[in-house]
């Protein structure tokens, strides 16, 4: 072990940002290896800076370490330089806390946040000396599990994962660990433990199912192979957010990461029903934490971390039922410690003014708004019920309140989009700038900066647009070019857009079936990893991987699906019915909006689970 440590120390002198691999942060390594029976490696398939900004890891890290029988350590994706050194020096991927090789943990868990991080999963398994394919693993190999939003369509990586956890993780994570712990105590075989896991709500064990295909490549059936495997896997839902676990202590990194602050999850779920948004469906129903609970958590977290900023996190924080009161209560509690309160992307039609005034007393960051589409017609189609008047009012309030930095998020390639919709984006950017200059000079804060960001729409499973084709790459690039030209003339606006090849592959993988796993493995073997980083993304290698596996990417990204087609994720019951999603799709085609379900239940399917949603009919 000392020899391994010496090798690692030598490697650390040669790499960029060695602090990514050294650990030792406050509130980590709480437990010694020998003091736990079950050792869980939480693997985030991206770099340290991204991993440490992720809320889910903080929750599960605290939860697993809190249990007397288990221990959780963190593992992140090494950067290119470290990965190559590890391969050359024959040093296995190790955890931050104790430098234990990944293969020595009983359970290895990955969080699935982004489809294009899947090659990193393979890279980490390989570096961690764990066989990539689940069928290749033996009795002494760790059980590899995965959770997070992308687990709702687990099929593309089902070749590599032993068990998926679908839905809210706080409860099922402990149930899973306990089954594994008890199984190992008894000396149960790996296969037996996996069969037992399949009995847990929300757990999908791919080895217990087989997929049959039609001649045209679509799915004929997704069949359970034994009685332990349920036909449909029902997602987990934590109903009471106040009694649900939430950490009061989180690791405090030394180095700069992306979101270096306390994240306070004020609620989960969203009632707005935007049709492109997968998170809005997957995290239903809306469940709030009470003001008292949040103030308590904020106080404890501040005491244990010493952070200077706290972010009120949720899908649509402006919708929290008593946001101004919450902000006032938090500021009162944390005033002495001078903690800044920030609000992530806010909906333009929520009651903001009071909240903005409250946060005014502390230093200003940039404000982000997401109109998503440039015209009311298209906004109605995607059910983003925000008007131009809403945007202008909020922008004007923000400028008047002393903010000078605004970010506007849009998507291009939305279904039924036309040129007028695109031009609307430039129009809104222009009008935003005009709001700033409409203010008397003395009221304007210095340093006007309006960033207009247009990502390419990727149709996602479990949304009304899950049947829709994605725009071809050529179309997307034309649209980007068109917008770039339009924005050039607008002074004060910066226009950003995303690499379309990456969006295309994301569309292939997010709606992929089991066969995509072969493509992912092939691409990885060709040298693909850290695909989300421009330095490394190789579009050509991915296309080659598709060709070599005899699959056409257009089948996944550009094909319009029929109503009766069996989709790869149909066997997952996310709470919302397929009929509801199709019904929403038809409303989109008619340009009809669906109101917020707080104003009246729309019958999405949640009502089948009595008592779970407080707004159900």
Burial grade of 37 (CB within 10 A; 0-12, 13-18, 19 or more): middle
For residue 301, the surrounding DSSP H or E stretch is: helix 291-305
Nearer to other proteins, 24 or 217 (CB): 24
When asked if residue 271 is in the footprint of other proteins (CB under 8 A), the reply is no
When asked if residue 97 is in the footprint of other proteins (CB under 8 A), the reply is no
Which residues share a beta bridge with 72? 40
- The closest of 297, 316, 271 to 613, measured between CA atoms, is 271
The residue range among 150-158, 227-235, 306-314, 606-614 that interacts with other proteins, by the rule CB under 8 A, is: 306-314
Q: What does the chain come to in residues?
A: 617
When asked if residue 218 is in the footprint of other proteins (CB under 8 A), the reply is no
**C-alpha atoms less than 13 angstroms from C-alpha of 352 in its C-beta half-sphere:** 27
The residue range among 23-31, 207-215, 284-292, 368-376 that interacts with other proteins, by the rule CB under 8 A, is: 23-31
When asked if residue 402 is in the footprint of other proteins (CB under 8 A), the reply is no
- The closest of 472, 481, 431 to 558, measured between CA atoms, is 472
The residue range among 150-158, 209-217, 250-258, 471-479 that interacts with other proteins, by the rule CB under 8 A, is: 250-258
When asked if residue 547 is in the footprint of other proteins (CB under 8 A), the reply is no
Q: Which of 186, 254, 366, 598 binds other proteins (CB under 8 A)?
A: 254
State the Cα–Cα distance between residues 108 and 132, nearest whole angstrom: 12
**Could you give phi then psi for residue 477, rounded to 5 degrees?**
-65, -35
When asked if residue 32 is in the footprint of other proteins (CB under 8 A), the reply is no
**Could you give phi then psi for residue 127, rounded to 5 degrees?**
-65, -30
Nearer to other proteins, 293 or 364 (CB): 364
When asked if residue 305 is in the footprint of other proteins (CB under 8 A), the reply is yes
State the Cα–Cα distance between residues 502 and 480, nearest whole angstrom: 14
Q: Which of 332, 363, 484, 595 binds other proteins (CB under 8 A)?
A: 363
Shortest distance in whole angstroms from residue 255 CB to other proteins: 6
Long-range contacts of 471-478 (CB under 8 A, 24+ apart): 471/412, 471/413, 472/558, 473/500, 473/501, 473/504, 475/413, 476/412, 476/413, 476/500, 476/503, 476/504
Shortest distance in whole angstroms from residue 399 CB to other proteins: 19
Nearer to other proteins, 189 or 337 (CB): 337
Which residues share a beta bridge with 497? 454
The residue range among 22-30, 424-432, 456-464, 473-481 that interacts with other proteins, by the rule CB under 8 A, is: 22-30
Shortest distance in whole angstroms from residue 98 CB to other proteins: 12
Shortest distance in whole angstroms from residue 6 CB to other proteins: 9
The residue range among 107-115, 194-202, 296-304, 314-322 that interacts with other proteins, by the rule CB under 8 A, is: 296-304
For residue 361, the surrounding DSSP H or E stretch is: none
The residue range among 11-19, 212-220, 366-374, 474-482 that interacts with other proteins, by the rule CB under 8 A, is: 11-19
Structure tokens at 223: 């069949």
Structure tokens at 596: 């917020």
State the Cα–Cα distance between residues 555 and 545, nearest whole angstrom: 15
Handedness of CA 147, 151, 155, 156 (dihedral sign): negative
Nearer to other proteins, 19 or 218 (CB): 19
Q: Which of 1, 2, 3, 13 binds other proteins (CB under 8 A)?
A: 13
Measured CA to CA in angstroms, residue 225 lies from 209, 211, 295, 480 at distances of 5, 10, 49, 47
When asked if residue 303 is in the footprint of other proteins (CB under 8 A), the reply is yes
Nearer to other proteins, 304 or 405 (CB): 304
Locate all alpha helices (DSSP H) within 416-532, ordered by sequence.
419-438, 473-488, 500-510, 516-525
Shortest distance in whole angstroms from residue 394 CB to other proteins: 25
Please give the residue ranges that form the binding site for other proteins (CB under 8 A): 10, 12-13, 18-19, 22-26, 28, 252, 254-256, 302-308, 337-338, 363
């Amino acid at each position: 072990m000392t020899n391994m440590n010496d090798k690692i120390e030598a490697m650390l002198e040669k790499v960029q940002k060695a602090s990514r691999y050294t650990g030792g942060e406050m509130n980590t390594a709480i437990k010694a290896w020998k003091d736990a029976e079950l050792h869980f490696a939480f693997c985030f398939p991206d770099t340290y800076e991204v991993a440490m900004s992720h809320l889910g890891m903080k929750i599960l890290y605290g939860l697993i370490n809190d249990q007397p029988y288990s221990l959780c350590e963190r593992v992140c994706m090494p950067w290119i330089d470290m990965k190559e050194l590890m391969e050359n020096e024959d040093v296995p991927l190790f955890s931050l806390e104790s430098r234990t090789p990944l293969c020595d943990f009983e359970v290895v868990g990955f969080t699935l946040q982004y489809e294009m991080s899947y090659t990193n999963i393979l890279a980490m398994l390989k570096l961690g000396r764990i066989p990539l394919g689940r069928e290749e693993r033996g009795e002494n190999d760790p059980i590899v599990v995965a959770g997070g939003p992308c687990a709702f369509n687990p099929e593309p990586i089902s070749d590599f994962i032993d068990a998926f956890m679908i839905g809210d993780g706080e409860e099922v994570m402990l149930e899973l660990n306990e089954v594994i712990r008890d199984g190992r105590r008894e000396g149960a075989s790996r296969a037996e433990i996996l069969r037992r896991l399949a009995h847990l709500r929300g757990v999908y064990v791919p080895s217990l199912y087989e997929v049959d295909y039609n001649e045209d490549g679509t799915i004929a059936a997704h069949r359970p192979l034994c009685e332990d495997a349920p036909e449909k896997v029902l997602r987990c839902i934590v109903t009471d957010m106040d009694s649900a676990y939430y950490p009061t202590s989180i690791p405090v990194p030394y180095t700069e990461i992306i979101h270096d602050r306390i994240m306070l999850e004020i609620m989960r779920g969203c009632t707005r029903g935007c049709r492109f948004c997968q998170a809005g469906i997957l995290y239903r129903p809306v469940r709030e934490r009470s003001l008292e609970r949040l103030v308590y958590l904020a106080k404890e977290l501040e005491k244990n971390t010493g952070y200077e900023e706290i972010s009120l996190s949720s899908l649509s924080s402006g919708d929290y039922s008593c946001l101004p009161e919450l902000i006032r209560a938090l500021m009162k509690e944390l005033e002495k410690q001078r903690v800044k309160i920030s609000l992530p992307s806010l909906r333009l039609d929520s009651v903001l003014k009071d909240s903005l005034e409250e946060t005014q007393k502390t230093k200003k960051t940039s404000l982000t708004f997401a109109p998503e589409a440039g015209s009311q017609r298209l906004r109605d189609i995607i059910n983003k019920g925000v008007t131009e008047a809403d945007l202008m009012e909020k922008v004007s309030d923000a400028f008047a309140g002393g903010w000078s930095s605004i970010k506007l998020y849009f998507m291009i390639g939305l279904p039924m989009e036309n040129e007028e919709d695109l031009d609307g984006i430039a129009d809104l950017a222009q009008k935003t700038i005009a709001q700033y200059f409409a203010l008397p000079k003395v009221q304007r804060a210095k340093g006007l900066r309006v960033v207009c960001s247009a990502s390419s729409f990727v149709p996602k499973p479990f949304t009304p647009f899950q049947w829709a084709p994605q725009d071809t790459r050529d179309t997307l690039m034309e649209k980007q070019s068109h917008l770039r030209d339009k924005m050039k003339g607008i002074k004060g606006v910066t226009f950003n857009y995303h690499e379309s090849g990456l969006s295309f592959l994301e569309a292939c993988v997010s709606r992929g079936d089991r066969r995509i796993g072969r493509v992912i493995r092939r691409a990885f073997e060709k040298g693909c990893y850290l695909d989300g980083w421009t330095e490394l993304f190789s579009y050509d290698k991915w296309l080659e991987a598709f060709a070599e596996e005899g699959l056409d990417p257009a089948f996944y990204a550009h094909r319009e699906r029929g109503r009766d087609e069996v989709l790869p994720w149909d066997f997952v019951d996310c709470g919302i019915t397929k009929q509801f999603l199709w019904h929403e799709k038809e409303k989109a085609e008619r340009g009809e909006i669906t109101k917020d379900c707080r104003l009246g239940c729309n019958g999405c399917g949640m009502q089948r689970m009595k008592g779970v949603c407080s707004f159900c009919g």
